[in-house]
Amino acid sequence: MNQEKTNMAIDENLVNLSPFPSFVLNRNGEVLTWNDLSKKYFGYEVEDFLITPSAIKTGLLSSLSAEAYQNLLLGKESLLFEKVQLLTKSDTMTDSAIITSNVLFNNEPAVLVTCILEESYTRMDDSMQVLKDLMNGLYSSYMVVTIDAEGLILNCNQNFLTISHWTPKRVLGKTFWQLFPDTESSMKVTDSIWKTINLGQIWEGDVEKITKDGSPYWVHLTAIPTYSPTTKNYEFVLFEKDITNERKMKHQLEKIAYIDPETGLMNAHRLEQVVNDMIEEKRHFSFVYISIDKYYTIKELHNSQMEENLITEFTKRMKIYFQDSEMARINEHEFVVITPLGEWFTQGFLTYLKQNPIYTGNVAVPISISGGITRSPQDQSTFPHLMKASLATIANVREAGGDNIVSLSNATHKAINRKSIIEKRLLLALDQQNLKVFYQPQVDIHTGKILAVEALVRWEDDEIGVVKPEELIPIAEETGLINNIGSFVIEEACKQAVKWEKAGLDLKVTINLSVREFRDKNMAKSILSTLESTQCPANLIQIEITEKFALEAEAETSIIKQMRQLEEEGIVFILDDFGTGYASFRYMQLLPIETLKIDQTFIHSLLQSEKTQRLIHGMVQFGKSMNLTVLAEGVETIEQQKLLQEYGCDAIQGYLISKPVSEKAIAQLTLNSVK
């Protein structure tokens, strides 16, 4: 108190006389006055802070850590913050030093903040000036990103924002890993970078990154570990040079040789051009994908000279049989023929190969092929779709034993087309928040009381209609959008759980999460952050994981650690699909599982098979022996319910109770179940 009494008293006129951008904050972080130079350099008007009081923290001073910002407001002593990046109203960053002083404003304790912009002064000390010139040169020549010890982005320069399409508000606080593609190869690179710099060593090399909108670009990256005296933590500075054009040029040069030298056929790059030209010209053709069966086994049985002879002779037979057709070699043992000829003629190539065998010495090499015929434009109308359909056809042929050339049914082509449309529309749905969450109740088998509800994502699109979870989730996992959907469902479920609690309903909400989502090292932190932002108690949330998830998590300590962290906060884990995957008693020991959920495939045959009845009875007893709650899903009849009750099952879920319904319907069902 004595210190505050001796603070200098200032007023608005004195702040306006400052030769630097200056402003005054009260202890709550509200702007009390804002001088003209602050308006000039930062673009904000004092009215902006009256409308949004938090704008000073989330805007201008957003690059300060929470601890630094709190110390600034406490005003226990004058502070100097060097090399701070200030976020202007026009969403650009400007470098500045900040000096804070404790003052009295209108007889109330306050903090005077003076911003000394880098452009407004020059250091006189030669060595410091050289260092400053060096840093300015690096910042103007390179993209620069600073991350903290947790991998969170603290600040970045304008070069980075320009290339990556991020804005400061969007990128600050994102993780290091979110700047890279979500692929297995990229994960290996980022893990290598992270391990190296955490060992205090510099990492340097070419890496692929992605922009805010998902477009790839390449940089030459130098990652340097540094120590921050201010935060007393290690930070990492990433210096990046955009090499995208060089990579593209190299790629183009590599594609100059459009002809496969071994066979004389065009290669895949040239094939794509030819097909696209034919599609643009609205020509009709059959896209015939041919793969030699057991090729690598044949290679092992013969020498390298035979391998070359095999491909050469096979190509000769293709050229003779498919005269006047376009042909390409896709890889070592796969080819594409573009032909206007019918399916019956194409299938005749199987007979032709048998009539004209390939010999090594005097012995005929037993060759069979698997082939897929896709018509354009009747079946598919783009090169990527033609390739996808062909590979799906080849897979079907191989499953049936190979040695055949077939075409897919219209229904299968429609499914492939629908999948492609879903991939595109899903991005739009996430952007426009068109997804909805429905809830299916889980009830106590003895009392009929609703104990919990499972949150299930629903999507009804204007163009493609209703997309069910069993169709949506696999596509979302393939395209890497599962994390976005997961984040949406978590937030909606937490908000709804809080609403039900306030309404006096005793309901837990179950969320399905995948192992892919938990591979994000910040998944647990993200969930806890959502709980905090929605003010949702952790004990209202349950997380369902599959046996596949459990099996993979068993081998990854980082996932187990995150699960334990969530368990300690009060979140319960449920093992879904029990009995359908690779069962392991080890993960029952390692993972914090409290509930077993018997899969509906067993429940559906419960009344038809004594063997299934014994199996389910055993599952229930196993769960009880492990002191776990046992839940059965897919219950549709009273007979199934009674039998499960006899076995000692604790809870059930299924159409006998209710299909997935809206949150309003759940509230009514819950009230009815209590009555």
Question: What one-character DSSP code corresponds to residue 202?
Answer: -
Q: How confident is the model at residue 304 (pLDDT cuts 50, 70, 90)?
A: low
Adjacent-strand bridge partners of 9: 104
Name the percent of the chain in helix, strand, coil, to the closest 5.
Answer: 45, 25, 25
| Cα 162-163-168 angle, rounded to 5 deg | 50
pLDDT over threshold 80, residue 346: yes
Q: Report the distance separating Cα 213 and Cα 199, nearest Å.
A: 32
Q: What is the pLDDT of residues 54-84, one digit of tens each?
A: 888 888 898 888 888 888 888 778 888 888 8
Helices and strands, number each (H, E), in the chain: 28, 27
Q: Report the distance separating Cα 3 and Cα 65, nearest Å.
A: 26
What DSSP line would sit under 323-339, residue for residue? Answer: TTSEEEEEETTEEEEEE
Q: Using DSSP bridges, classify how beta strands 79-87 and 93-105 pair: parallel, antiparallel or unpaired.
A: antiparallel
CATH number of 433-674: 3.20.20.450
Q: What is the pLDDT of residue 442?
A: 94
Buried b (16+ CB within 10 A) or exposed e, 95-117: bbbbbbbbbbbeeebbbbbbbbb
Q: Which residues contact residue 277 at a Cβ distance below 8 angstroms, ignoring those fewer than 6 apart? A: none
User: Token pair of 662, please?
Assistant: 């809206």
Q: What is the pLDDT of residue 5?
A: 46
Phi, psi of 300 (to 5 degrees): -65, -30
Q: Report the distance separating Cα 576 and Cα 407, nearest Å.
A: 37
CB of 87 within 8 A of CB of 63? yes
CATH 3.30.450.20 residue window(s) in the chain: 2-120, 126-248
Of the listed ranges 148-152, 377-381, 497-501, 550-554, the one predicted with least confidence: 550-554
Adjacent-strand bridge partners of 374: 287
Q: What is the dihedral of CA 165, 167, 168, 171, to 10 degrees?
A: -60
| 198 CB neighbour count, 10 Å cutoff | 13
CATH number of 2-120: 3.30.450.20
CATH 3.30.70.270 residue window(s) in the chain: 258-408
Q: Average pLDDT of 458-468?
A: 81
Q: Report the distance separating Cα 340 and Cα 578, nearest Å.
A: 51
Q: Report the distance separating Cα 454 and Cα 440, nearest Å.
A: 5
Q: How confident is the model at residue 130 (pLDDT cuts 50, 70, 90)?
A: low
Nearest-Å Rg of the Cα atoms of the chain is 32
Q: What is the pLDDT of residue 4?
A: 42
CATH topology of domain 126-248: Beta-Lactamase (3.30.450)
Q: What is the pLDDT of residue 255?
A: 62
Q: Report the distance separating Cα 321 and Cα 187, nearest Å.
A: 46
| Residue 149, SS3 per DSSP | coil
Q: What is the pLDDT of residues 417-436, one digit of tens each?
A: 788 788 778 877 777 577 88
CATH 3.20.20.450 residue window(s) in the chain: 433-674
Of the listed ranges 19-33, 190-204, 228-242, the one predicted with least confidence: 228-242
How much is the mean pLDDT over the chain? 86
Q: Report the distance separating Cα 263 and Cα 311, nearest Å.
A: 8
Single-letter code of the amino acid located at 520: D
CATH number of 258-408: 3.30.70.270
Q: Report the distance separating Cα 174 and Cα 187, nearest Å.
A: 16
Which among 91-95, 193-197, 468-472 has the top mean pLDDT? 193-197
Give the distance from CA 501 to its chain's centroid: 31
User: Token pair of 354, please?
Assistant: 């048998």
Adjacent-strand bridge partners of 202: none
Question: What one-character DSSP code corresponds to residue 464?
Answer: T
Q: What is the pLDDT of residues 237-254, one digit of tens each?
A: 999 999 999 988 877 776
| 22 CB neighbour count, 10 Å cutoff | 24
What's the chain's length in residues? 675
Q: How confident is the model at residue 230 (pLDDT cuts 50, 70, 90)?
A: low
What DSSP line would sit under 491-506, residue for residue? Answer: HHHHHHHHHHHHTT--
| Residue 170, SS3 per DSSP | helix
User: Token pair of 669, please?
Assistant: 């069902």
